[in-house]
Amino acid sequence: EGGAARVPAGSHLTISVTGGEGEPTLAIAGKPSPLRKLDALSFQADTDLAADGIVDLRRQGHALASWQLTVIPDRPPVVAWAEPPGRAPRTLQTRLPWRAGDDYGVTVLQAEMRLQARPHAPPLTVAIPVPATAAREAHGVSLQDFTSHPWAGLEVTARLVARDAAGQTATSEDARFTLPERPFENPAARALVAARKSLSLDPDDRDPAIGAVNDLLQHPELLGDDSAAFLNLAAISALLVRERGADAVPEAQARMWDLALHLEEGAAELTARALERAREAVREAMDRATQSPSDQASKDLEERLKQLEDAIQRHMEALAEQARRENAVAPNDPNAPQLSSRDLQRMAEEAREAARAGKLDEARRRMAELEQMLDRLRNGRPMRGGEQRRNAEQRQKARQGQSALQDMVGREGGLLDHAQGRQNGAEQPSAGRTPPSRAKPNAGREANGGDPAAQREADRRVQQALRRALGELMQQFGDATGQVPPSLGEAESAMREAGEALANGQDEQAGSAQGRAIEALQKGGQQMAEAMAKQFGPGQPGEAEGDDGDPGGTTGFSLQDGRSDGEDGSQGTIPGQRGRQGRRDPLGRQVGQGTSGADEGSDVKVPEEMERQRGRAIQEELRRRGADRARPQQELDYIDRLLKPF
């Protein structure tokens, strides 16, 4: 029927004409556009729209249809640093906080870093993942590990580059910072790393690096009587002296880094990394053989499995040598299965034989068993004292974050109670009935002279404090584990919405956002527990205790709303705050230290008959009240939430 429409620039227009007599004609913005003949009675035109105009379709001088199209121009994206980039706190990772936006979403985002001392050298480009959904505005933090890069320890200039679906690009302002570098305790390793950096600063001047390598060759005692390291060092010296090609310096730098790691950590760490790469190659080959079965895929899988066998053998030999050299003893756990090189080799051989026979299901099953054994080998190997201490400290910080998250759920629940209490008070000012809730909804109103507006303002400040505390918790947990549960980001967004709703006097919207925040916090707690189990494995005895002996203590994760405790003669300035010993669930049981909100403490006991009867009575009363549809909708929604756990 024709009409007007607004469309984005670059939209694809398809016009189909079927039936009638004669060949139609098409004009777009006054310019003829050809129609393709499909058959005797069907025609079709395809074109991309770039400018405003009238689309006029005619046949034998008569108008069939006409459209007035307004083309909306696609603006280029915008990108900027959300915060100054640099080293992440308490880690050796590089923190790249970004913020980007586009009319239809940014499709590609990357960071380009150039060496400050050599700005014309090829840049170091890092891809930054963007949300799968094409959001008009997005932000985040990318954590990258550049400690093995030749530029580690040197100053760089970085900028962000964003591109949209139309191919338009935008760049951020330049930011200067120093790439974090790994510290080395071994003097020979430190000398190698310093020589490696000198080659990065001026690859044409090799004399300083050659001199440093030759000094180490003249003092073999610094290598700890390691003949393999001495031969490798001699090969690096010969490479720098004799090879003048462009690839000689990068190859020498790579060898310097591997040798520095060998001197610092020993062969076991290098073989462990090689084993991990071999495992990943087997996974990829297994996926290809499953998705696209062929003789070549099966042959490739068999070859990868053979390489895995060799990697296992080299790693076990390195572990045995390290144990003999350091007199290391694994923890005595009589319940733990004993692993041997023969067992691992047998599992890999069985997987390879199954793949050779075309039994992919059997090969996948054997490989899954082998993966479990290798995970136990990695998690159960003896650690050096410093490494064990660092691992325990990181696990402790992560546990503290879990405990702080539980407190945050309770405090957010107190704010939700306040919002629901104000709603019920507004709808039934003379009812005189207190709605069921986790905390007294009128407590904030009493503290503010019964003024709902004053209580909203107090709750808004508390909501802001909780949001800031959640941001700090996310940062500290990310520093400890290297990842942040995505649900915590959803909780932060919901808290922001709740704060805005409270500022606008919208209790219903605030309560809805607070409910979503609680749900996201609980889900985030489960994701935190999974991340801890994946990275740290089962906790060691005594590690879950805080400085005061309190399991899962919250040291370092304080929550403040702008006032200190005791300032007004009371403890706990955030409404809804309750002590750990006083938290109980709706059935009166003390809540443990788990992440799901259930009683996961060590004092769990099976409820007696009286307790079970009391629980059934509570359920029946809730269902009776929920069946009374004359009650306010907010109260009915609250009852529904209480009934969900049952």
- Report pLDDT digits (tens) over 233-268: 999 999 999 988 889 999 999 999 989 988 887 666
Is the pTM higher than 0.75? The answer reads no
Beta bridge partners of 545: 551
Q: What is the dihedral of CA 524, 529, 534, 539, to 10 degrees?
A: 160
Phi-psi region of 89 (alpha: psi -120 to 50; beta: other; left: phi over 0): beta
pLDDT at 627 (0 to 100):
79
pLDDT at 588 (0 to 100):
45
Classify residue 53 by burial, with Cβ atoms within 10 Å: 0-12, 13-18, 19+: middle
Residues 582, 406 contacting (CB under 8 angstroms): no
Residue 144 confidence (pLDDT) above 70: yes
Q: Which DSSP letter does residue 166 get?
A: T
Where is pLDDT greater, at 577 or 27? 27
Residue 455 confidence (pLDDT) above 80: yes
Residue 154 confidence (pLDDT) above 90: yes
Phi then psi for 476, rounded to 5 degrees? -70, -40
Residue 322 confidence (pLDDT) above 60: yes
Q: Which DSSP letter does residue 551 get?
A: B
Pairing mode, if any, of strands 62-72 and 3-8?
A: parallel
pLDDT at 61 (0 to 100):
80
Residue 555 confidence (pLDDT) above 50: no
- How far apart (Å, rounded) are the C-alpha atoms in residues 283 and 290? 11
Distances 70 to 30, 136, 259 between C-alpha atoms, Å: 15, 21, 64
Where is pLDDT greater, at 340 or 73? 73
Average pLDDT of the residues in 436-459: 60
Which range is most confident: 183-187, 284-288, 621-625? 183-187
Residue 50 CA to its chain's centroid (Å)? 39
pLDDT at 263 (0 to 100):
85
Where is pLDDT greater, at 313 or 377? 313
Under the banding of pLDDT at 50, 70 and 90, the label for residue 340 is low
Classify residue 344 by burial, with Cβ atoms within 10 Å: 0-12, 13-18, 19+: buried
Q: Tokens in use for 507?
A: 């209790």
Average pLDDT of the residues in 174-183: 94
Under the banding of pLDDT at 50, 70 and 90, the label for residue 205 is very high
Which residues, other chains included, contact 325 with Cβ-Cβ below 8 Å and sequence gap of 6+? Answer: 266
Residue 93 confidence (pLDDT) above 80: yes
pLDDT at 325 (0 to 100):
57
Residue 109 confidence (pLDDT) above 90: yes
Where is pLDDT greater, at 593 or 513? 513
Q: In the chain, pLDDT over 70 holds for what percent of residues?
A: 75
Q: Tokens in use for 168?
A: 């338009």
pLDDT at 485 (0 to 100):
83
Pairing mode, if any, of strands 42-48 and 78-81?
A: unpaired
Which range is most confident: 274-288, 436-450, 489-503, 522-536? 489-503
Side-chain half-sphere of 527: how many Cα atoms within 13 Å?
A: 17
Q: In the chain, pLDDT over 90 holds for what percent of residues?
A: 21
Instruction: Compute the mean pLDDT over every residue in the chain, rounded to the nearest whole number.
Output: 77
Residues 643, 441 contacting (CB under 8 angstroms): no
